[in-house]
Amino acid sequence: MTTTDDAVEIIQRDPGVEGPLDADLPPLLDRLYRARGIRDRAELDYRLQCLPRPEGLGQLEAAAQRLAEAIQRDERILVVGDFDADGATSCAVAIRGMASMGAGQVDYLVPNRFADGYGLSAGLVEPIMARRPAVVVTVDNGISAIEGVAALQAAGVGVLVTDHHLPGPQLPNADAIVNPRVNAPDFGAPNLAGVGVCFYLMLATRAVLRERDWFGPQRPEPALAELLDLVAIGTVADVVALDYCNRLLVEQGLRRIRAGKASAGVAALMDAAGRDRDRANAADLGFGVAPRLNAAGRLDDMAIGIETLLARAPDTAAERAQRLEAFNRERRALEQGMREQAVDALEPGEVGDERHLGPILCVYDERWHQGLVGIVAGRLKERYRRAVIALAPDQEGRLKGSARSVDGLHIRDLLEAVHTRSDGQLMERFGGHAMAAGMTLKPGQLDAFTRLVESIASEWLGAVPPQTVITTDGPLAADEFSLAQAQHLRRAGPWGAEFPEPCFYDQFAVVDARIVGERHIKMRLRPRQCPGQVIDAIAFGAAETHERLPAGDIEAVYRLDVNRYRGEERLQLIIDYLAA
């Protein structure tokens, strides 16, 4: 929830071409789709047969041939995953997919965030070799694993890399690389998450085995569509662009969940999150399921998350999901404490006085948990509308940091400048992209790092951060403030990154307001277009930054929401920005 000051500009999306996409679409929905670049109703056809063809996806065919061979020979296959929700779902898709095709010896290994670092590192080679695999398949990692892949190849282990991250100047010498960002200029789905790439490999492997007459009465061909609930979770969780292919994959997964066909693990996670499976949408996956999976990787070991997704018995899945729920509660408590400590350090005077803050914030506390610094950086970025770097100590005395940036400041480029100007003396490693990055500082370099970061940011931006721009779909007409419209929008997704959920901008009269749950503001509002109507609204987290409850007239950026309570559905507004 953002609050007001002069650094915020609100603009309206351009609906683009005139004329409706389809006469059957409600006018509001038609306008929203056109404003998101939809030019043909076919771009809203989410049938599975419309999935972009795999031709052109790098070395997909070579990877599928080698994997099919390993399955037919009953070779040991080891999946090397990652410790976030995309990595966990990718791992589960690979294991369940290969097992359904007859693989008898499939195992997985996920690096520990704190002990092993990211991906197929050189330090992971020894534990991999202890499993004696014939083939290693990386999921959601591997494109930068130059040393790890080389060591496995030297030991005679085949390596298939499946990843979606940008490559560096050198590619690993793997048997095959499947990545839509590597040698795939004609592939129709360049924004796949790691789990989407893995799903394509499963489809291609099944096609190879079908050609080899592997399936028959004793070994029926599997329906890989059963994996789509996992694909949907990983795609939403990794916040990849929801282009046509990704929307199709997410919508297909949601349809399975809504139809009661979710896997036991996904169903248990939905239940643990208090989400209604019958009405599941992308937000339920992104804000309900994904945080519970991620909590395991942030605080302990992602293996429990993967085991939850692999569970077949509902009782077993429910038990494991409750362990993830416990991790998530611990994560929330730790995160809140870290955030409060950061705010206390940044606002030593009057709460909310941000005038003394520069264009980028570096925060550190020796008590903080390194697995949560990324979340804290994101929360502080939302509060202060500035780029934030949050750091915490590791066991060796180094500082692990995570950065979240704002439009106008490319955070990876800033770290590159820090590295260059310090002759490599401050950071052991760093990486990332425009809006998010990570780094490891050498011992004793926090003060020098902070000074240089702040100096470069001020040099690039001046004394104040870039203006925050909130893009909306403009005002609603009086007859569009309705439960029916909210229900239309809920079903009209999936919404997500680069296909954003509709939000609107209007003036309201505040009928009443109160604090709920200590941090949120619950209101009843009268829209200026229909003063005879009173609508429930809630602004999550707004009590932290609002000294007084709103009164009189306000301006707000908001979303239409369906609030379901005791079986009754009512219209509710979710307030994302409030100017009192």
pLDDT digits (tens, 9 = 90+) for 425-482: 999 888 877 888 889 999 899 999 999 999 999 999 887 667 778 999 999 999 999 9
- pLDDT value at residue 351: 46
Distance CA 580, CA 578 (A): 6
Just give the CATH number of 359-464: 3.10.310.30
pLDDT digits (tens, 9 = 90+) for 276-306: 999 999 999 999 999 999 999 888 889 999 9
pLDDT digits (tens, 9 = 90+) for 327-354: 999 999 999 999 999 988 887 654 445 5
Domain 54-326 has what CATH class? Answer: alpha beta
Mean pLDDT of the 121-132 span: 93
Q: Show me where the domains of the chain are located.
A: 2-14+470-579, 54-326, 359-464
213: left (phi over 0), alpha (psi -120 to 50) or beta: left
- Percentage of the chain with pLDDT > 90? 73
φ and ψ of 521, to 5 deg: -110, 120
C-alpha angle with apex 402: 347 to 87, nearest 5 degrees? 140
- Percentage of the chain with pLDDT > 70? 95
pLDDT digits (tens, 9 = 90+) for 22-67: 778 888 999 999 999 998 889 999 999 999 999 899 999 999 999 9
Which residues does residue 417 pair with via DSSP β-bridges, in sequence order? none
CATH topology of domain 2-14+470-579: OB fold (Dihydrolipoamide Acetyltransferase, E2P) (2.40.50)
φ and ψ of 287, to 5 deg: -110, -5
Cβ(280)–Cβ(240) below 8 Å: no
Q: Which two tokens stand for residue 458?
A: 């001020």
Does this chain's domain 54-326 share its CATH topology with 359-464?
Answer: no
- Which residue type occupies 378? G
Nearest to 317 by CA among 252, 230, 237: 230
User: Which three-class secondary structure string do you get for 244-298?
Assistant: HHHHHHHHHHHHHHHCCCCCHHHHHHHHHCCCCHHHCCHHHHHHHHHHHHHHHHH
pTM for this predicted structure: 0.91
- The sign of the dihedral angle between the CA atoms of 108, 112, 116, 117 is positive
Distance CA 46, CA 51 (A): 8
